[in-house]
Amino acid sequence: MNPIHLRADGVSVLLSFRSGEAEIVHWGADLGAHVPDLELLTDPVPHSALDVPVIAGVVPQPSSGWLGRPGLRGSRIDEDGRPGRDFSPALRVVAAEADGETARIVQRDASAGLEVATRLRLHPSGLLEAASSVTNTGATPYQVDELAIQLPVPADAGELLDLTGRWCRENHPQRQAIRRGTWVRTGRHGRTGHDSSLLVAAGTPGFGNRSGAVWAAHFAWSGDHEQFLDALADGRQMIGAAELLGSGEVVLAPGEAYETPALYAAWSDRGLDGVTERFHRWFRARPQHVEVDGGRPRPVVLNTWEAVYFDHRIEPLVELAAAAAELGVERFVLDDGWFRGRRDDRAGLGDWHVDEGLWPDGLTPLIEAVTSRGMEFGLWVEPEMVNLDSDVAREHPDWIAGPDARSHDEGGRLPVEWRHQQVIDLVNPDAWQYVYDRIDALLRENDIAYLKWDQNRDLREHGHDGRPSVHAQTLAVYRLFAALKEAHPRVEIESCSSGGARIDLGVLAHTDRVWASDCNDALERQTIQRWTQAVLPPELVGAHVGPTHSHTTGRVHDIGFRVLTALFGHFGIEWDIRAASEHERAVLRKGIELYKRFRGLIHSGVRVNADLVEPALALHGIVAQDRGEALFTAVMHRTPVAEMPGRVRLPGLDPDRVYRVVPLLPTAEDFPRTTEGDSASPFVQHRGPGWFDEGLTATGRFLDAVGVTLPILRPEQALLLHAAAE
């Protein structure tokens, strides 16, 4: 069988079938059109080892001598109900086909009654998508314990970067050397998880934002999962992921199949920014991405949560809407507290009816107050959850998911509560239909353009009919999104999950943006948004200007820093702007104007991150696809080591074009810049750099090699620069 060679945008994926198994012998730099005879690349056989070369197959198998993590784990259940049969299949290729972009390989073990099909697709952006399915071709049930997607990583990759976090501190990086053994990150949240790694990247030691070779992967699944890197004693390394299945959660009857979520993987020889560019180009080529955008700018949002919390009275909400419209807001979102019995977070979840006591005329008066001012109306919902103090829980106790086959009113045990709530069992078709009908009715009966879809707890001990069911629940949630999207194609949906606990390409197949974190502290958001956007393009990442005094951290930041942090995303506000000072309103209005002026660039350009020596300083930006202009923000996270920040390079520009670089925010009209010790100024200096008032004209080559001299920024301050080709 001839090798299969997929090529796109400087990337090659080369598959060999020389051993009878499918094996990826190369994933990385483009190999060109000519490939040598792969038989000549057969591995040697060392002493004290198997007598034949060990194959690291597309589905690595112990039957081929593989000593790392197996690709398929499971066993057949015999006529007596005992598992264990056919525990170690010997899969061999029976079919392989390719069309230039996609390869499909079928491997089978007829005696074990198993068939595994693997699909590899190399997208035009160079992003590799991989998924597998296992079909039970035998006569008795087969229990799937794990079907993993694994890709080879060369020995050049000696350092590992992944992301971790917690509530209000999502997506923070951690790095370590790759050592022999298996490194594993496990997520047992029943959702993606605040601590989940959005990206796992193996690279050449010291790889940076714009340097080094990187092999990176993301697992597109919103339920339990594991991500891993397997480094064997023979020198081979595999990066991969798998759904983490509960005991007996997937048992295939004869003829049934289980399909894995997809693993998305990117190779780059330009550091992490090269990985990011492949992901962003893939996102922006998706049909649903184009349909939502459709040439229409992503609107400026005001969300009411940190402005009013549960204080839902029509008069202050209309005042807030009027203040928002005056500033240039384009979408007004009513958060938690509008539905029946909801005065705090202890009651009402599941009763998706407008509270007649709060809203005797329904939501119509507020919606009309919003839309008459030229804004869209959005609404918060949390359809997957239920409070025990709710009509639906009292009427249908059997709709609450848990470890017991009995409902809680029959003495069944429920999981420990989280924010006073439980999970509604969407695997139950009646419960699924109820939730669909209620959300569908809200959308049909009201002029709603946007749903902030929240999910505020982990799925602990999650079960249906006494069996684990995170897998089935996750698929049921996807079906719910899809059905509502089909019925209401113009309604946009945000994936929120206590902030960023459900950010993955699985949920983003059905939603239109994510809420990166419940933390609106601008300093925290700088790191959260930088690493969320390592995979997701800015237009998918909600980024809001929070209150002056952060509700989650207690920090106080000036309006300029908060605006510049929110600018590089899907811009919004989550703050009672009625209480803003005239100065804050003026800078906020300027920020909204800048966002409207540049959102076409921010939401289509190439994200760049400079590699800087000063650890307190960061510089990131967006460069237009044609490199005709760019926005850069320099951010001083804390007190710098050096007295002066010196020059910073502006990456990504066309080296041969001439650019005019000017500061946009802050400028002299925004803050006093020269008064030493003036706490209102973002600078601490007697005099700024020479170019600052007049601008700087230089080639892209000069700006990337020499850079611009920054003013001396105070800690927790930022500076926005615009570079335009002349």
CB-based contacts of 356, cutoff 8 Å, min separation 6: 340
Pairing relationship of beta strands 658-665 and 570-573 according to DSSP bridges: unpaired
Task: Report how far residue 367's alpha carbon sits from residue 513's, in angstroms, rounded to the nearest whole number.
Answer: 22
The answer for residues whose C-beta is within 8 angstroms of residue 383's C-beta and 6 or more apart is 352, 424, 435, 438, 439, 453, 480
Is 454 in the active site?
Answer: yes
3-state secondary structure of 583: helix
C-alpha torsion angle, residues 534, 30, 120, 157 (rounded to 10) = -50
C-alpha–C-alpha distance, residues 72 and 112, integer Å: 13
- By DSSP bridging, strand 658-665 and strand 696-699 are antiparallel
> In which residue are the tokens 């994200």 written?
607
Sign of CA dihedral 214, 220, 221, 222: positive
Catalytic pick among 224, 355, 454, 521:
454
Return d(Cα 239, Cα 220) in angstroms, integer. Answer: 15
Is the distance from CB of 426 to CB of 476 less than 8 angstroms? yes
Whether the CB-CB separation of 426 and 392 falls below 8 Å is answered with no
3-state secondary structure of 158: coil
Residue owning tokens 């502290």: 521
Report how far apart the first and last C-alpha atoms of the chain are (Å, whole number).
55
Q: Facing residues of 380 across strands?
A: 452
Write down the catalytic residue from 355, 512, 518, 654: 518
> What is the DSSP annotation of 109-147?
ETTTTEEEEEEEEE-TTS-EEEEEEEEE-SSS-EEEEEE
The strand pairing partners of 129, in sequence order, are 121, 264
- Cβ atoms of 349 and 385 within 8 Å: the answer is yes
Helix (H) or strand (E) holding 590: helix 582-602
Burial group, residue 224, by CB count within 10 angstroms (0-12, 13-18, 19+): buried
Distance in angstroms (rounded) separating the CA atoms of residues 703 and 723: 10
Tokens 């009878």, residue located = 20
CB 238 within 8 A of CB 68: yes
Q: For residue 666, is the peptide bond before it cis, meaning its omega torsion is within 30 degrees of 0?
A: yes
Residue pointed to by tokens 């809200």? 442
* Per-residue tokens: 303: 């969300």
Cα–Cα distance list, 563 to 25, 116, 302, 559, 568 (Å): 48, 51, 13, 6, 9
String of DSSP letters for 432-462: HHHHHHHHHHHHHHS---EEEE---S--TT-
Residues 6+ apart with CB under 8 A from 180: 231, 232, 233
Q: Which of 67, 60, 119, 65 is nearest to 91 (CA)?
A: 60
Active site residues: 454, 518
